[in-house]
Structure 1
């Protein structure tokens, strides 16, 4: 009988833990909208969100905002806030957690472009990209917003896989925000 209750308690705690993580990211998505960015935190297969922050607007009117979302393969413990002066200019919405960043996704409420970039189209989404050494910067504009991925190219995370991830992110953001 006690084993039955312990098993039931374990299942309930597991469900509560999963729900609260999703609820937290859902709340972060709602807060992102307060900055004029009509996007939710995109989920990426096999990766966890490591941190989310908003960069301050570079304009006096405060109408240009960018949210940065970092993805990792293994999310660890929550880190203590950094008192670095440059770090204090950003508004942290989630994290940061221990874990090596695979890539950062920046979503801005204005379109952008990359200088001297190559271009490709995946799933009807035009993208610009640059590669320097083993670092990729990938940009796509959609519905007056820009999406930029900055990540390291490896045997697992190739240019092509980043193109597919970007197409999936942009598609999911626009399907979920309609």
Structure 2
């Protein structure tokens, strides 16, 4: 009996390891996103937020050819995700949805690009050896924190919709993990 429980446990563990990688994001979706931006991306795993949407954006085409070389991936995180929503029927050649969207309010949006990013009128702070730019804003009574940093491979731009559940301290903890895991 103990052998059977051990075998079943091993099978469940192996199945769990191959189904998802980070915050519920399937490994094949993560790989396609990484191939698109051109570098490996490590998302914080030990957070209260699950990936609820991923898309990739292509450079616009002019006369049938890509105009530029900027490749972007957008990832939305939610506290509680629900059922998968239907995608709008509109077609967009510059964008491909890889995952989701799932029901639930997006509280963190992460944009990853193969090109550097720079914020205007931003404050700066160092995390490890990385210069991190940030700015705060209040729009329509909601507080937001925008944080950006560059690596030698690309850039990370994050928007946090601050609330009692997602504090500024939580946002900086998330960024600390992103910097630690991606630099």
- TM-based fold match above 0.5: yes
Contact (CA 8 Å) 2:42, 2:181: kept in 1 or not?
Answer: no
Query: TM-score, normalization: structure 2?
Result: 0.76
Question: Counterpart of 1:172 in 2: which secondary structure?
Answer: helix
Q: How does 1:1-178 map to 2 (within 5 A)?
A: 16=15, 19-22=18-21, 25-40=26-41, 42-44=43-45, 45-58=47-60, 60-84=66-90, 89-133=94-138, 134-174=143-183
If each structure's helix is expressed as a fraction of its own residues, which one has the higher value? 1
Shift in alpha-carbon separation, 1:156–1:25, aligned structure 2, 3 A: same
Contact (CA 8 Å) 2:107, 2:162: kept in 1 or not?
Answer: no
Contact (CA 8 Å) 1:28, 1:41: kept in 2 or not?
Answer: no
1: distance between equivalents of 2:110 and 2:56?
12
2: distance between equivalents of 1:76 and 1:17?
20
- After TM superposition, the structure 1 stretch with the greater mean CA deviation from structure 2, 69-78 or 53-62, is 53-62
Deviation at 1:51, TM superposition (A): 0.9
If each structure's strand is expressed as a fraction of its own residues, which one has the higher value? 2
Shift in alpha-carbon separation, 1:76–1:139, aligned structure 2, 3 A: same
2: distance between equivalents of 1:114 and 1:43?
23
Q: Which runs of 5+ in 1 are unaligned?
A: none
Shift in alpha-carbon separation, 1:34–1:10, aligned structure 2, 3 A: closer
- After TM superposition, the structure 1 stretch with the greater mean CA deviation from structure 2, 47-56 or 8-17, is 8-17
2: distance between equivalents of 1:149 and 1:65?
16
Deviation at 1:100, TM superposition (A): 1.1
Describe the superposition over 1:110-149 as per-residue Cα deviations: whole angstroms up to 9, x where unpaired.
1110111111223333211111111111101111411011
RMSD: 2.9
Query: TM-score, normalization: structure 1?
Result: 0.78
Deviation at 1:28, TM superposition (A): 1.4
Contact (CA 8 Å) 1:29, 1:41: kept in 2 or not?
Answer: no
- After TM superposition, the structure 1 stretch with the greater mean CA deviation from structure 2, 89-98 or 27-36, is 27-36
2: distance between equivalents of 1:17 and 1:39?
21
Provide the aligned length of Structure 1 versus Structure 2.
Answer: 168
